[in-house]
Structure 1
């Protein structure tokens, strides 16, 4: 995903083809190195170094995800690392060293979530649930923020590939409230990734139906999006604003949601407040124009009961 930093990008293949003369030998060495480091994960005394080395070099190792998934005890070792810090989440006593170590484990789980051969196995094992306590934290200290961001990277890896089964699973685990929490109190980068996840859920018909089924769900999402827009008036962020606009635009595809947006869409999205912020992004400008048009022509008078208001 273009809006994630390199350390959290979810689109880079592992061990892409090389044209150098020594490519076969390098490939063999990389494989041997990866296999040894994966074996080291099962040894508590060697695990910390193995986590660090694998997370730093994961893009060099071809098919690291299947190796992690199929090697005996490896996923259990990664989950053990995650569970081990639950006790310091509340009250918040997480140290930078603890955060870094767990984030290295999460980076490896992100590899598994990104790979086509292991994604659904990862999902069916309900491994994302182990990350939710991290998304439910409220501390804004750097160790907690780094933990939230890396956890969001794993979920983002799942939703990046359009798959209704993935969306249905996430909706059944209450991912929306967790993302909304981060969208309200996280850093700009965490807010961006969380909003991207909500955007991908909305773009799936199952996700759209879920959010627009009840007035409470729609207004919960709409309230957070509106608050984010208000904060961006003071501190603009083009990439975050782009994701917010795309969420609003998708909501406008639903007749009742579109009618409700007629009264709750922030004025700053209609009056040119963000013209300079979006000056370099033609796609976002076009989305915003389409959104304003949709809301303008799709607004239904409240006495006709076309929006959500009558459901509250």
Structure 2
């Protein structure tokens, strides 16, 4: 999985792999969730994988639900690595316009506030990914994270 090989990704798109990953993301331990979210991230980073998830509404729904459930669990048991993979999955999903539109309503609200600031304080790349995700999902609305100022004349708070 560490190599970016489209043939490997295409093999993973069999009907059994995604449901198995989603089950592990729902009921696995932190290590299992991290590994399967990494696998999902690799699938999504390939155009064929993104297309496979986003053109099948049910698959997108289940993936978004599993990611959202894990985000909720991270409030109680934070894991910077798992959060990084989750945010990267969401960001890649947002590259598909239809999925991005859906994320506008199903993206967990705790990703939109300052809940995970302490978890992300030492990871500028993931902070940048989260900011990019929120800008894409929120359209023209300005995303306000802790430590940022807003000019009320030129923007709206969400």
TM-score, scaled to structure 1: 0.44
Q: Aligned-residue CA RMSD in angstroms?
A: 1.3
Q: 2:96 aligns with which of 244, 251, 254?
A: 254
Q: SS state of the match for residue 161, structure 1?
A: coil
- Partner of residue 22, structure 2: 180
Q: Deviations over 1:214-236 (max 9, x none)?
A: 21010000000000000001111
- 1:299-310 matches, cutoff 5 A: none
Given the alignment of the two structures, is residue 160 of structure 1 paired with residue 8 of structure 2, yes or no? Answer: no
- Partner of residue 202, structure 1: 44
> Structure 1 CA distance, aligned partners of 2:102 and 2:140?
9
Higher relative contact order (CA 8 A, sep 6+): 2
- Partner of residue 106, structure 2: 264
Q: SS state of the match for residue 118, structure 2?
A: coil
Residues matched between the structures, number: 141
Question: Would the aligned equivalents of 1:255 and 1:298 in 2 still touch at CA under 8 Å?
Answer: no
Q: Deviations over 1:181-204 (max 9, x none)?
A: 111111111110000000000000
> Structure 2 CA distance, aligned partners of 1:251 and 1:173?
19
Moved over 3 A (4+): none
Displacement of 1:173 in angstroms is 4.8
TM-score, scaled to structure 2: 0.86
* Structure 2 residue ranges without an equivalent (≥5): 142-158
* Structure 1 residue ranges without an equivalent (≥5): 1-158, 300-312
Q: Deviations over 1:61-110 (max 9, x none)?
A: xxxxxxxxxxxxxxxxxxxxxxxxxxxxxxxxxxxxxxxxxxxxxxxxxx
